[in-house]
Amino acid sequence: MSENKKNRRVADPFKTKTGKTRMGPLNREQLMKFIESASKPKHRAMAQRVYDRKYGHLVVETPVVESVDTQEVTPETSN
């Protein structure tokens, strides 16, 4: 009896049966690493869409730092 190739289970849960990477279970750091290391623009765009869909609503607020004058202020005297 031969097994049908279509019905074989994949050993790696992060890959589909055709070998493509599953984007759903990847966390934020893994997605960023995948985006940076992707060699094809098509793969990079796919990972970016998944990242935007999962983490696009999270906005990281950066604190605003105001510049402060460090010059000494000398009072003007009128004579």
Give the span between the Cα atoms of 49 and 55, in whole angstroms.
10
| % pLDDT > 90, the chain | 4
Mean pLDDT of the chain: 76
Average pLDDT for residues 38-58, to the nearest whole number? 87
State pLDDT tens for residues 13-28: 778 888 887 877 788 8
Question: Which residues lie below 8 Å from residue 16, measured CB to CB, with a gap of 6+?
Answer: 10, 22
Q: Is 30's pLDDT higher than 80? A: yes
Contact by Cβ (8 Å): 47, 74: no
